[in-house]
Amino acid sequence: MHGHARFDPIHRRFLRVIQSANRRPSYPPLRFRLAVLQKLAFRMRVSILRCFLSWAMVVTVPASVLGQAPPEQATAAVLHTQGGVWVNGYEAHDSSAIFTGDLIETKPGFSAILNMEGSTVQIQPESVAKLQQNLLVLDHGSVSVGTSTGFKVKVNCITAIPVLNTWTQYDVTDLNGTVQVSARKQDVRVEHEMGHGKPSAETQASDRGVVHETEQKNYDESQLCGAAGPLNAGSGLNPKWIVAGAAGAGVLIWILVHGGGGKTPLSTSQP
């Protein structure tokens, strides 16, 4: 009894060693492991998709739509309106910031006022214009300018320029192919780019290129400039690139969601 009791702890330890050696490692079921892998793959696809969509938004959405300007671009003007005015295809609110390259459109019965340093421009109803550096490109309609900094208005190849850098007031109207320049205070010089149309006797005479205070002169746009296309909104992107990018984004989203799986999405031309 005593001898058997003395070897009993050793015997129990030996049995534990044998049982530990014969014990198989415990692994989770195969179905559970597959579910974990699928969940990880789904999270990776969602993360990639979010990153792609974020960069797509940065590239395709204009800064004016996001309500802020690029770091290197300062506010060019402040737009005041009581409604009925659109900027780059979106309805503008009163006291909106306007940047170089923005396209402004006034609806019937509504006008807009641009306030800049040293200049004020009133855009009359039913007008379309694009703001540039110390210049307004008028596609059609009418504007009234008050400036002490030589702010110019350009219609196609015709540009109205204050003669002096003192407070000058003038109107420019472009309707039915005729550009009308009226000098209300101080003189305004009218220039047209060479190589556009045929210069008339009126524009060849140096004195007749100046509209004196209280005077009004008309210029034939087609004769001086030839045909011109409409202004495009200043998004900075070719519309074809945007369409192609949207199509590519749709294909990528389909692949990420469906996991690739050796299948391709259906096209519109082949079901």
What CATH number is given to the structural domain containing 126?
Answer: 2.60.120.1440
Asked whether residue 53 falls in the same domain as residue 125, the answer is no
C-alpha to C-alpha distance for 146 and 113, rounded to whole angstroms: 11
Side-chain-facing half-sphere of 49: CA atoms under 13 Å: 16
Helix/strand/coil for 64? helix
Asked whether residue 34 falls in the same domain as residue 119, the answer is no
Q: 95 in a domain, yes or no?
A: yes
User: Residue 130's CB: how many other CB atoms inside 10 A?
Assistant: 21
The pLDDT confidence band at residue 55, using thresholds 50, 70 and 90, is confident
Average pLDDT, the chain: 76
**Which amino acid, 248?**
G
Q: How far does CA 143 lie from the centroid of its chain? A: 25
Q: Are 140 and 127 in contact (CB under 8 A)?
A: yes
Asked whether residue 125 falls in the same domain as residue 248, the answer is no
The reported pTM is 0.57
C-alpha to C-alpha distance for 105 and 178, rounded to whole angstroms: 20
Give tens-digit pLDDT for 179-221: 999 999 999 999 988 655 555 544 444 345 899 999 999 999 8
Q: 71 in a domain, yes or no?
A: no
**pLDDT at residue 128 greater than cutoff 80:** yes
Range of the domain at 110: 77-225
C-alpha to C-alpha distance for 77 and 80, rounded to whole angstroms: 10
Looking at residue 248, its pLDDT comes to: 53
Q: 10 in a domain, yes or no?
A: no
Mean pLDDT of the 53-80 span: 64
C-alpha to C-alpha distance for 27 and 119, rounded to whole angstroms: 78
Element (H, E) at 121: strand 119-123
Of residues 224 and 146, which shows the higher confidence score?
A: 146
**Which amino acid, 237?**
L
Asked whether residue 52 falls in the same domain as residue 131, the answer is no
Q: How many domains does the chain have?
A: 2
Q: Are 79 and 87 in contact (CB under 8 A)?
A: yes
- The encoded tokens of residue 248 equal 């590519």
**pLDDT at residue 263 greater than cutoff 60:** no
Q: CA nearest 125: which of 117, 113, 116, 137?
A: 113
